[in-house]
Amino acid sequence: MANSKTEAAERRREHWREVLRRWESSGLSQAAFCRQRKIPIWRFTWWKKRLSEERPAANGLFVPVHVAPSATSSAELELTLRGGRLLRFGADVPPARLAEIVAALEACPAGSRRGGQAC
């Protein structure tokens, strides 16, 4: 019995992970996304908060990278974030600053709005 409850709970979590992935890639605000899909906003925000608490700490999301210069390199870094957002930086951006920028952007999914303004 406990195993089927655990499996059902994991299925619910996976369902909501997929809903959140679809929202992140939709470019819609949370309210518009929920309205279109007839999802109660309170339920959406509850699952968003719950699943975000399960994620590893931000420093666990980064992996070490070695950038080797190439003859055709234009001294530029390119990152693709969740939701397809593309960032381009000069290769001289300090890693700590780059981590701050990425963390801030990842905290604000593409298309979301805070206080009526885009993040």
pLDDT (tens, 9 = 90+) of the chain, 119 residues, equals 557 888 888 899 999 999 999 998 998 899 999 999 999 999 999 999 888 877 555 555 666 666 666 655 556 777 777 767 778 887 777 878 888 887 777 776 555 555 555 55
DSSP H helix total and E strand total for the chain: 4, 4
User: What one-character DSSP code corresponds to residue 9?
Assistant: H
Q: What is the model's pLDDT at position 115? A: 54
Number of domains composing the chain: 2
Q: What is the pTM of this model?
A: 0.45
| Joined tokens for residue 102 | 């990425």
Range of the domain at 89: 60-119
Quick one: 76 and 42 in the same domain? Answer: no
Quick one: 66 and 117 in the same domain? Answer: yes
Neighbours of 64 (CB within 10 A): 4
Quick one: 46 and 71 in the same domain? Answer: no
Residue 24 DSSP SS3: helix
Quick one: 48 and 78 in the same domain? Answer: no
Distances (CA, A) of 116 to 6, 30, 33, 34, 112: 39, 12, 15, 17, 9
Sign of CA dihedral 101, 102, 103, 106: positive
Quick one: 22 and 64 in the same domain? Answer: no
Quick one: 42 and 88 in the same domain? Answer: no
Indicate the residue among 55, 73, 98 that finishes a domain. Answer: 55
